[in-house]
Amino acid sequence: MSLRAALNSVNGEKVAIKKIGNAFDNIIDAKRTLREIKLLRHMNQENVIAIKDIVKAPQRDIFNDVYIVYELMDTDLQRILRSNQTLSHDQCRVLVYQPLRGLKNVHSANILHRDLRLSNVLLNSKHKLKIGDFGLARTTSDTDFITEYVVTRYTAPELLLNCSEYTSAIDGSPDNSSLSFFRSDNAIRYVRQLSRYPKQQFAARFSKMQPSAIDLLEKILAHRKTFLLCIVDEPIGHAYLSSHHDVDNKPVCPTPFSFDFEHLSCTEEHIKELIYKEFVKFSSDH
């Protein structure tokens, strides 16, 4: 896979073109490509990366590479936070609020991202933030969630520890009272062997943060799974974000996304056929 910046010669728009070479050599990778195309065509929210075009293959039988055109983003949250740039309080609010809006939209479409990390939170020069890379996404009702590799530099603990259930709050660490939702005895033993640390006093550790920011941090990092279920709904309306929050502008997806195609017994050729149909649909819609 390769990604290159380009210029749309028709309208002058800057875009990013992702080439998936030999896209059908591996059925898992082919499914990821199909999944992302279908999912992003379904989504339409300002904090979720958008597909601008899919380069249609000249013939259905002879194409092996897939070219997807996205809106161009300049950097990602990982690079921002690792830089020497000093962020103002308001910039911090923007960097917290926009991903929450994107996640609210994703979760309302019955989708779990499952690979949400700093490098997948993209940013442009206008400080518009968008969530990208939905190749590992699943439905919220899908319990068979670890059937393909999910090995990245960051993976949510619930996935690594083979939990019996996971929700739109795949984040944080469970306490002892929540260990019952691990379905692996080895995972339970491992967690119990971890060193215990006293609760961090965030107000002392982050003395320059505003009290409302400390309160939001405390609530987001709560270890109780019952609270984590509200990881988007409650923080998005928190006092710390009130200057950006518009209660009348709810980022809710009007229709849930269907993963029915995931349950089909697909061969590489079948997936190629489905992706070609996505080419045709996109061309007819645009």
Residues 179 and 270 grouped into a single domain: no
Residues 40 and 158 grouped into a single domain: no
How many Cβ atoms from other residues are within 10 Å of residue 182's Cβ?
Answer: 20
More confident residue, 2 or 227: 2
Q: Which residues pair with 130 in a beta bridge?
A: 122
**How is residue 23 annotated by DSSP?**
T
The number of residues making up the chain comes to 286
Q: Does the residue 97 lie in any domain?
A: yes
Q: Does the residue 182 lie in any domain?
A: yes
Residues 47 and 177 grouped into a single domain: no
**How is residue 119 annotated by DSSP?**
G
Look up the domain containing 185 and give its range: 75-241
Residues 107 and 142 grouped into a single domain: yes
Residues 121 and 237 grouped into a single domain: yes
Residues 80 and 67 grouped into a single domain: no
What pLDDT, in 10s, does the model give residues 42-68? 998 999 999 999 988 877 778 899 999
Pairing of strands 121-123, 111-112: unpaired
Residues 67 and 105 grouped into a single domain: no
CATH number of the domain that residue 277 is part of:
3.30.200.20
What pLDDT, in 10s, does the model give residues 196-248? 777 778 899 999 999 999 999 888 876 444 444 455 677 888 999 999 988 88
Single-letter code of the amino acid located at 70:
Y
Q: Which residues pair with 14 in a beta bridge?
A: 7
pLDDT for res 183: 65
Overall domain count for the chain: 2
Residues 99 and 219 grouped into a single domain: yes
Q: Which residues of 40-73 are buried (b: 16+ CB within 10 A; e: fewer)?
A: bbebebebbbebbebbebeeeeebeebbbbbbbb
pLDDT > 70 fraction of the chain, expressed in percent and rounded: 79
Q: Does the residue 251 lie in any domain?
A: no
Residues 279 and 176 grouped into a single domain: no
Single-letter code of the amino acid located at 13:
E
- Containing H/E element for 5? strand 2-7
pLDDT for res 146: 45
Question: Rounded to whole angstroms, how far apart are CA atoms 260 and 35?
Answer: 11
Q: Does the residue 120 lie in any domain?
A: yes
Residues 234 and 150 grouped into a single domain: yes
Of 221-230, 248-257, 276-285, give the lowest mean pLDDT range: 221-230
CATH number of the domain that residue 219 is part of:
1.10.510.10
Question: Rounded to whole angstroms, how far apart are CA atoms 46 and 174?
Answer: 32
Q: Does the residue 118 lie in any domain?
A: yes
Whether 65 sits among the annotated catalytic residues: the reply is: no
**Candidates 25, 61, 74, 115; catalytic one:** 115
Question: Rounded to whole angstroms, how far apart are CA atoms 136 and 260?
Answer: 15
Residues 153 and 192 grouped into a single domain: yes
162 in the Ramachandran plot: left (φ > 0), alpha (ψ -120 to 50) or beta? Answer: left
Q: Does the residue 167 lie in any domain?
A: yes
Region 8-22: mean pLDDT is 93
Residues 61 and 130 grouped into a single domain: no
CA 14 to chain CA mean position, Å: 23
Q: Which residues pair with 129 in a beta bridge?
A: 123
Ordered DSSP codes for 48-111? B--EEEE---S-TTT---EEEEEE---EEHHHHHHSSPPPPHHHHHHHHHHHHHHHHHHHHTTE
